[in-house]
Amino acid sequence: MRTRAKGKGAGPARTEELRGLLVEARSRLLRTVATTDDELASLAAQDAGGLIETSSRGATEDALSRLEGRERHALDEIRAALGRLETGDFGVCEVCRRPIPVPRLRAMPWARACVTCQSRGERG
């Protein structure tokens, strides 16, 4: 039996690595607002789109409201990147549609654009 190399993208192993980086970055962010492990767990569950019990929802929203704008934005970016992992759009520049170099993704796994397009965008 021959193993067929499928696709030309990041590949499953790398995808898992980058997913790990994203999840880790998200926990780091959530940990800055969560006061207890329970709170952290429900925050993570809610952020992952999971259903949480009504009783913990209030506390979760309360904790999320402590996030500052910048952190909330980062959390949104991480969530969007995790979504792109599911749809297979991850690691592709949104502007030029070329693959984003892996070293950039390792440093910034939620990056939406390659360095060239990003710097172009930040100017305007």
Length of the chain: 124
Query: How many other CB atoms are there within 10 angstroms of residue 101's CB atom?
Result: 14
Select 30 or 92, whichever has its Cβ closest to Zn ion: 92
Contact between 111 and Zn ion by CB under 5 A: the answer reads no
Candidates 48, 96, 102, 107; binder of Zn ion (CB under 5 A) is 96
In a 3-state reduction of DSSP, which class is residue 81?
Answer: helix
CB 120 within 8 A of CB 54: no
> What is the C-alpha to C-alpha distance for residues 63 and 117, in angstroms, rounded to an integer?
35
CA dihedral 114, 121, 87, 18 (to 10 degrees): 40
Provide, rounded to whole angstroms, the least separation between the CB of residue 110 and Zn ion.
Answer: 15
Contact between 117 and Zn ion by CB under 5 A: the answer reads yes
CB 43 within 8 A of CB 64: yes
Contact between 107 and Zn ion by CB under 5 A: the answer reads no
Candidates 95, 99, 104, 108; binder of Zn ion (CB under 5 A) is 95
# binding residues, Zn ion (CB under 5 A): 5
Provide, rounded to whole angstroms, the least separation between the CB of residue 64 and Zn ion.
Answer: 32
Select 83 or 121, whichever has its Cβ closest to Zn ion: 121
Contact residues: Zn ion, CB under 5 A: 93, 95-96, 114, 117
